[in-house]
Amino acid sequence: MKKMVLLASSLLIPLAFAATPKGNAAKGKTFFEATCSGCHGEGALGGVGPKLAGKLKKWTFAGFKKTLKENVTPDKRKLGPPMMKFNLSDQEYADLLAYLKSLK
Ligand code: HEC
């Protein structure tokens, strides 16, 4: 029985980690420049949309995904236009977040 539990948990742990893909900041930068920087500015320094550089250091993947997908931030603010809902792949969210976290 103990062996079964151990086996089950050793199978589950890698699955739990696989749910959050590892972000690639270089790909995130390319995506950001094509899709977000028109509003959030070069290097996410702000424009029509708020500055994001240096502000997302503590954001989790889940919180960031919900912000883009549903326009609700981790501290429960509802974002309005011109911010839009972005339905992306988990890899794309992870890449964007890795890029934004890399900014000072
Ligand atoms: C058409 C303009 C526009 C585009 C394009 C846009 N945003 Fe925004 N974004 C905004 C505005 C304006 C706000 C603030 C909305 C509010 O406070 O109601 C915002 C808010 C945000 C916030 C919340 C910041 C905070 O904590 O207050 C994040 C994160 C964000 N945008 C990320 C992105 C990302 C990533 C992209 C590209 C995939 C993107 N945005 C594309 C205009 C835009």
> Does the predicted TM-score (pTM) go above 0.85?
yes
Cβ(100)–Cβ(27) below 8 Å = no
Other beta carbons within 10 Å of 101: 19
Atom 27 of ligand 1: nearest residue by CA position: 50
Residue 3 has what pLDDT? 73
Mutate to test the pocket of ligand 1, among 83, 89, 91, 99 (most ligand atoms within 8 A of CB): 83
**3-state class of 90 per DSSP?**
helix
Cα gap 11→66, rounded to integer Å: 27
Residue 27 has what pLDDT? 98
Domains of the chain: 21-102 (1.10.760.10)
The answer, yes or no, to whether any atom of ligand 1 lies below 6 A from the CB of 91, is no
Residue 101 has what pLDDT? 98
The two tokens of residue 19 are 């749910």
Residue 9 has what pLDDT? 65
The position carrying tokens 């062996």 is: 3
Residues of the chain with confidence (pLDDT) below 70:
1, 6-18
Cβ(27)–Cβ(38) below 8 Å = no
Residue 10 has what pLDDT? 67
Residue 11 has what pLDDT? 65
Rg (CA), the chain: 16
Residue 21 has what pLDDT? 93
Closest CA to 97 of 42, 81, 17, 89: 89
